[in-house]
Structure 1
Amino acid sequence: MALETTAGSDLIQVVALLGAAVIAVPIFRRAGLGSILGYLAAGVVIGPFGLKIFSESETILHIAELGVVMFLFIIGLEMQPSRLWGLRREIFGLGALQVGFCALLLTSVGWLGGFPVVQSFVAGVGFVLTSTAVVMQTLEERGELGSPNGQRIVSILLLEDLAIVPLLALVAFLAPGGEHTSLSERMTGIGIGVAAIAALVVAGRYLLNPLFRVLADSRAREVMTAAALLVVLGSALVMQLSGLSMAMGAFLAGVLLSESTFRHQLEADIEPFRGILLGLFFLAVGMSLDLRVVADHWMLIAVYVLAYMAMKAIGIYAVARFLRTSHRAALERAVVMAQGGEFAFVLYSAAAAVGLIDSEANAMLTAIIILSMVLTPLAIIALRWFTPRDEQSLDGVDVADGLTGSVLIIGFGRFGQIASQPLILRGVDVSIIDNDVEMIQAAADFGFKIYYGDGTRLDILHAAGVGNARAVLVCVDKPEVAVRITQLVKAEFPLVTVLARAYDRGTALQLIHAGVDYQLRETFESALVFGGSTLEALGVDPEVVAEVVEDVRRRDAARLDTQITGDLRDGRNFLKGNIATPVPAPVAPPRRPGQPLNAETASVLTKQVPEN
């Protein structure tokens, strides 16, 4: 009976965890506050100081740290050794400079507040260790992991993960009696750490690929998943037993497997566990917030949360600007990384265990870290609201003025670049404008002269010489912009021939109604060539292929004409770029090579729902 009660209680807790996440996260994301804040709030509600469904959040937090471990493993899979080597200056230069400078600033905050230097140092360096989980989740949600600023932030986080090792050793040294630790003991600890890293590198280099090859040959999917989990957790365990961080072990294992042929399979196997455990981590962090300590010392905690976040942000911004990072990138980095992190819990626990800080100070510092993590999504939202976007610098870029080309190309992306080549080879006098400064500068390196200009502005069109041009090519990638430019040109310069790139059929119809002289859906012709090549690869005679492709092209034009006249039921909705009522595309009956299209096949092709 007792066993059944325990099992039922455990099931209630599992349901509570999943239910809290399912309810809170969508609400917070819909409100624009992000999933992290939703998890944290849900953890507070179901924790010891909310509904009391959980009483020992430390146990859950210990398990949930595996989410951070798996997250770093997946990040490691994206970091090939060559790419990591390319970031060595950011990791050991930028990272070390930021950690050292911020540690000095944050230590001074505690010291100026009247606390002893050692305690101020422990509190300060703990807050220096940014939350890998919060920052990585934020960068992933914003799609900035691969951006230059995102890569620099990742480099700093890696250095901070490495810094936990000497910081833990320093805490042991600063402890009462710690200075009497023998040199041989310290050297033994360092040797064990180095040996563990070397063993992991050797195993990853020579054992993991053969292991996964054998498992792949067995064609047992669940065994591959188990092996992936074994690699992640085994690497984390080796690092932990050697005195290093679990996250560093997982990251190192990911890097070693980043060039493996099984990389994508491993990522797919780990991803579900990573997502669930990372959410569980944030829930556990929310549960760990001791509201009694916050209530008893709310003023002191509030002051130090704001002081630590402000001072750390100032330090990050100063280092970034010192290294010639742009104002906006430096400001974003400062706000995103201004919080404390999960490794601070480890450092504070170690400091409390050796007597550097008492249990109340540990609880207060933990509350400060958690509250800083809670405030980070709000600070990012505030930054987005109150900081205007950087204006593009036009240094070295000529603005469109007095152009006289007989053909004006608006937009010089992948489509415009290809479209311009036949004209240039034929010797046509071409003028090109674009509003992407980076692209203009990159094109200049290849000998193209591109002028800066926004095609949706009438004054720019005049300056670009539309009035004297024989043709205007609208090659921009945004459908609404292409339609707007076409409408403007045809309204102000009705005699100029306008040829436009259409994103899809809906855009094509809008362009036609705007008066365009010629439009081409950007994927239509390439898809026809692709389909024709497929028929040839299947052994169909090239002449028959050409006939089929031309027949598809002709029937597509007929459908477009029908839509223009509004005969199709949903024609008006295509003008808005969407379909009101989805209609399943019928399947044409099989047809032998060279066989003429019969009435049934022609009917199917005519009724097919256009999507491109």
Structure 2
Amino acid sequence: MSVEAVASGAEAAAHGVDLVPVVVLLAAGVFAVPLFKRLGLGSVLGYLAAGLLLGPSGIALIADPGSVLAAAELGVVLFLFIIGLEMEPSRLWALRRQIFGLGALQVVISGALLTGVGVLLGFAPAIAFVFGMGFVLTSTAIVMQILGERGELSTSGGQKIVSILLLEDLAIVPLLALIAILAPSGADESLVSRLGGIAIALGAVGLLIVLGRRIMNPLFALLASAKLREVMTAAALLVVLGSALLMQVSGLSMAMGAFLAGVLLSTSTFKHQLEADVEPFRGILLGLFFLAVGMSLDLQVVTGHWQIIAIAVVGYMVVKAIAIYVLARVLKSDHAQALERAALMSQGGEFAFVLYTTASAAGLIDGPTNAIFTATVIISMVITPCLLIALRYLTPKPQQSMEGVEVAEDLHERILIIGFGRFGQIASQTLLGQGHRLTIIDTDTEMIRVAAQFGFKVYYGDGGRLDILRAAGAANADLVLICIDDRRTATRIAELFRDEFALVKVMSRAFDRGHAIELIKAGVEYQLRETFESAVQFGAKAIEILGATSEEIEAVVEGVRDRDRRRFEMQINEDVSALDAANMLLLQNAADQAREGGVAIEPDEIAKTVSDAGIDVAKETQD
């Protein structure tokens, strides 16, 4: 290789991609988020804390959080595209009253109140309006992430919150127009110019609708025929980012463009393919967005103006939360739902950054004021996950309604079933089919009421309490079936029967092999791992489909059960791990086969033979 080539390679390496920030950001997400989730603090707070540590206010490994934030906003764009895919036009139309009714009311009322708070803080009315309206725009990314982690996006309360967020995203358009009017240069802008901007925005929406309804489906059908996964992924990103770009150049929100594209494709046959292609990018970029928000918090601004920022954060969050709570209660939400919504939506959001930056560029606010406003919003975003955690611990858990539910008291049937979920319901059918009379207890009042509609008499009672067991007739029972899906409680109930009602025969549902061993040691007469028999039958059907005869299937299934039984006995009697039991069983089987063939093999040689064969004993331990 020539000297020139070496020099050229060195120069290329010197001017290559700087991987340090990329590795640092990935490491922050990989380590901080699981740690915070394990501590019960949530992934959002983990990202924010990691960002604060990495940014200029922390160890300064990332010098320019603004550039990271600009790129990471694509995570919000992709997130809204996926939300749009779940919102078919008919479903969106059904939510129109919540979007344009509830959403508009919350924006108008909260905006008026927060503008008043800004005036009380000493800002001019126009600047107070910008500050307040920016804070009204709740963080779509944070709220959606929290709702998604809780599985509440499709619930009634979740749908109301999504509707409000959609209206707030739409509100950024008129707010940006108002900034142009309020700005010192706004007077020079003609009415014709402003009307032209509105016409361009409406035209862009119309164009996107036409493209979505007429072009996108045939395009994806054509690309799918090529059977190239990477082309479909590129096309999905093209649709999302192209829609966002179209809305951006027309003066609208990028996120709204992506959401609209998702809605238009929600009835497409390629909906699930699009979601699968976009989801990995969405997750990474949304995490990057939260990291960038944490990095953007300038602690020098906070310490230099801590009084005004502290007052603004508390004042704006409290006033906004009160407005949301009162509005929710007026519109017939219960206390718990209204309080949860107020805590969840009391912060400012990412669109406030857009509004404040636009106001600063238009000369309506100066740089330091923009920094104060931005810091206030970021701190409110950081506080929100902490506020929700505090709310969870400080508010009482919702009480189950006992209407139409009888408490277990002085019952005397000879068979007691504890837990009447899916497992208990099926297990009870054979007993009822034989004409046995049952006492059934459970702690789910809603399930008890539903069971009554189908003729089942289920009493309310916690099987983990000795007094409830006595009231349910445990002392006089011949047989008890523990059918609950809580591993610890099931073991505790078995131990209670062993200690207090030793003559009663107990059967129990087991979660896995380890739980089954716990139950055996707790004295149960019989236990059954909840997935074992169904998995054996599932595997038997698989080999039947592949052509096995009934005799072969019976032999294989019996072999599986026999090996499992022998491993289980080893673990109970010798207190060995599942892996050790599998190893011992493999060695024993090898020795048996050797003896059958008339070959004498030493145990060490058997072990070596098993190892050389590459047998995956770990697989033998799976239930």
TM-score (norm 2): 0.84
**Correspondences of 1:202-217 after superposition (within 5 Å):** 202-217=210-225
Matched, 1:172 2:147: no
Letter in 1 for 2:355: L
In 2: Cα distance, 1:584 partner to 1:277 partner = 49
Per the TM alignment, residue 237 of structure 1 is displaced from its structure 2 partner at its CA by: 1.0
Matched, 1:434 2:442: yes
- Structure 1: stretches of 5+ with no match in the other structure: 590-595
Q: Quick one: which of 273, 282, 290 aligns to 1:282?
A: 290
In 1: Cα distance, 2:587 partner to 2:228 partner = 36
Per the TM alignment, residue 221 of structure 1 is displaced from its structure 2 partner at its CA by: 2.3
Closer/same/farther in 2, CA of residues 297 and 558 from structure 1, 3 Å limit? closer
Q: How far does the alpha carbon of each residue in 1:95-124 deviate from its partner, in whole angstroms, 9 at most, with x for none? A: 333323322321221123333333222211
Per the TM alignment, residue 127 of structure 1 is displaced from its structure 2 partner at its CA by: 0.3
Per the TM alignment, residue 67 of structure 1 is displaced from its structure 2 partner at its CA by: 1.5
**Corresponding residue for 2:603?**
none
Per the TM alignment, residue 125 of structure 1 is displaced from its structure 2 partner at its CA by: 1.4
**Corresponding residue for 1:537?**
545
* Structure 1 contact 584–609 (Cα < 8 Å) conserved: no
Identity of aligned residues (%): 60
Q: Quick one: which of 276, 283, 307 aligns to 1:268?
A: 276
Closer/same/farther in 2, CA of residues 27 and 480 from structure 1, 3 Å limit? closer
Matched, 1:102 2:118: no
In 1: Cα distance, 2:526 partner to 2:19 partner = 64
**Corresponding residue for 1:417?**
425
In 1: Cα distance, 2:19 partner to 2:553 partner = 62
* Structure 1 contact 559–606 (Cα < 8 Å) conserved: no
In 2: Cα distance, 1:89 partner to 1:445 partner = 34
SS in 2 for 1:565: helix
Per the TM alignment, residue 243 of structure 1 is displaced from its structure 2 partner at its CA by: 2.2
Q: Quick one: which of 155, 158, 165 aligns to 1:157?
A: 165
* Structure 1 contact 555–606 (Cα < 8 Å) conserved: no
Q: How far does the alpha carbon of each residue in 1:44-103 deviate from its partner, in whole angstroms, 9 at most, with x for none? A: 455455556655543332222111111222233344445444544443343333323322
Matched, 1:549 2:562: no
Matched, 1:395 2:380: no
Per the TM alignment, residue 558 of structure 1 is displaced from its structure 2 partner at its CA by: 4.0
Letter in 2 for 1:492: E
* Structure 1 contact 433–453 (Cα < 8 Å) conserved: yes
In 2: Cα distance, 1:465 partner to 1:318 partner = 49
Matched, 1:611 2:622: yes
SS in 1 for 2:440: strand
Letter in 2 for 1:360: P
* Structure 1 contact 585–608 (Cα < 8 Å) conserved: no
Q: Quick one: which of 318, 321, 325 aligns to 2:326?
A: 318
* Segment drifting more, 471-480 vs 104-113: 104-113
Per the TM alignment, residue 234 of structure 1 is displaced from its structure 2 partner at its CA by: 0.6
Per the TM alignment, residue 320 of structure 1 is displaced from its structure 2 partner at its CA by: 2.7
- Structure 2: stretches of 5+ with no match in the other structure: 1-7, 598-609
Q: How far does the alpha carbon of each residue in 1:194-219 deviate from its partner, in whole angstroms, 9 at most, with x for none? A: 44333323333343233223222222
Per the TM alignment, residue 422 of structure 1 is displaced from its structure 2 partner at its CA by: 3.1
* Segment drifting more, 40-49 vs 486-495: 40-49
In 2: Cα distance, 1:508 partner to 1:108 partner = 64
In 2: Cα distance, 1:412 partner to 1:146 partner = 26
Per the TM alignment, residue 428 of structure 1 is displaced from its structure 2 partner at its CA by: 2.9
Letter in 2 for 1:532: A
**Corresponding residue for 2:458?**
450
SS in 2 for 1:408: strand
Letter in 2 for 1:321: R
Q: Quick one: which of 205, 222, 229 aligns to 1:221?
A: 229
**Correspondences of 1:112-511 after superposition (within 5 Å):** 112-176=120-184, 178=186, 186-511=194-519
Q: How far does the alpha carbon of each residue in 1:29-54 deviate from its partner, in whole angstroms, 9 at most, with x for none? A: 56554443444344445545555665
Matched, 1:512 2:520: yes
Closer/same/farther in 2, CA of residues 513 and 69 from structure 1, 3 Å limit? same
Closer/same/farther in 2, CA of residues 341 and 495 from structure 1, 3 Å limit? same
* Segment drifting more, 26-35 vs 406-415: 26-35
**Corresponding residue for 2:604?**
none
In 1: Cα distance, 2:498 partner to 2:58 partner = 64
**Corresponding residue for 1:593?**
none
* Segment drifting more, 517-526 vs 451-460: 517-526
Per the TM alignment, residue 260 of structure 1 is displaced from its structure 2 partner at its CA by: 3.6
Letter in 1 for 2:138: T
Per the TM alignment, residue 21 of structure 1 is displaced from its structure 2 partner at its CA by: 4.9
Q: How far does the alpha carbon of each residue in 1:422-463 deviate from its partner, in whole angstroms, 9 at most, with x for none? A: 333444322321112232233344443322111111111122
Letter in 1 for 2:247: M
In 2: Cα distance, 1:547 partner to 1:231 partner = 55
**Corresponding residue for 2:4?**
none
* Structure 2 contact 480–505 (Cα < 8 Å) conserved: yes
Closer/same/farther in 2, CA of residues 409 and 87 from structure 1, 3 Å limit? farther
SS in 2 for 1:139: helix
In 1: Cα distance, 2:471 partner to 2:379 partner = 54
* Structure 2 contact 567–585 (Cα < 8 Å) conserved: no
* Structure 1 contact 161–248 (Cα < 8 Å) conserved: yes
Q: How far does the alpha carbon of each residue in 1:135-175 deviate from its partner, in whole angstroms, 9 at most, with x for none? A: 22333344444454434333322221122122223333444
* Structure 2 contact 494–506 (Cα < 8 Å) conserved: yes
In 2: Cα distance, 1:145 partner to 1:599 partner = 62
TM-score (norm 1): 0.86
Per the TM alignment, residue 22 of structure 1 is displaced from its structure 2 partner at its CA by: 5.4
**Correspondences of 1:13-28 after superposition (within 5 Å):** 13-15=21-23, 17-18=25-26, 21=29, 25=33, 28=36
In 1: Cα distance, 2:281 partner to 2:619 partner = 42
Per the TM alignment, residue 531 of structure 1 is displaced from its structure 2 partner at its CA by: 2.0
**Correspondences of 1:568-579 after superposition (within 5 Å):** 571-573=575-577
Matched, 1:59 2:53: no
Letter in 2 for 1:611: Q
Per the TM alignment, residue 299 of structure 1 is displaced from its structure 2 partner at its CA by: 0.7
Per the TM alignment, residue 130 of structure 1 is displaced from its structure 2 partner at its CA by: 0.9
In 1: Cα distance, 2:558 partner to 2:31 partner = 54
* Structure 2 contact 519–527 (Cα < 8 Å) conserved: yes
* Segment drifting more, 435-444 vs 156-165: 435-444
Closer/same/farther in 2, CA of residues 405 and 172 from structure 1, 3 Å limit? farther
* Segment drifting more, 28-37 vs 107-116: 28-37
Letter in 1 for 2:508: A
Per the TM alignment, residue 343 of structure 1 is displaced from its structure 2 partner at its CA by: 0.3
**Corresponding residue for 2:600?**
none
Per the TM alignment, residue 250 of structure 1 is displaced from its structure 2 partner at its CA by: 1.3
* Segment drifting more, 314-323 vs 8-17: 8-17
Per the TM alignment, residue 23 of structure 1 is displaced from its structure 2 partner at its CA by: 6.1
In 1: Cα distance, 2:14 partner to 2:620 partner = 57
* Structure 1 contact 504–611 (Cα < 8 Å) conserved: no
In 1: Cα distance, 2:618 partner to 2:226 partner = 47
Closer/same/farther in 2, CA of residues 30 and 533 from structure 1, 3 Å limit? closer
SS in 1 for 2:620: coil
Per the TM alignment, residue 283 of structure 1 is displaced from its structure 2 partner at its CA by: 3.3
Count the aligned residue pairs: 595
Letter in 1 for 2:108: G
SS in 2 for 1:431: strand
Matched, 1:75 2:83: yes
Pairwise CA RMSD of aligned residues?
3.6
SS in 1 for 2:622: coil
SS in 1 for 2:79: helix
* Structure 2 contact 56–63 (Cα < 8 Å) conserved: yes
* Structure 2 contact 54–62 (Cα < 8 Å) conserved: yes
* Structure 2 contact 571–581 (Cα < 8 Å) conserved: no
Per the TM alignment, residue 560 of structure 1 is displaced from its structure 2 partner at its CA by: 3.1
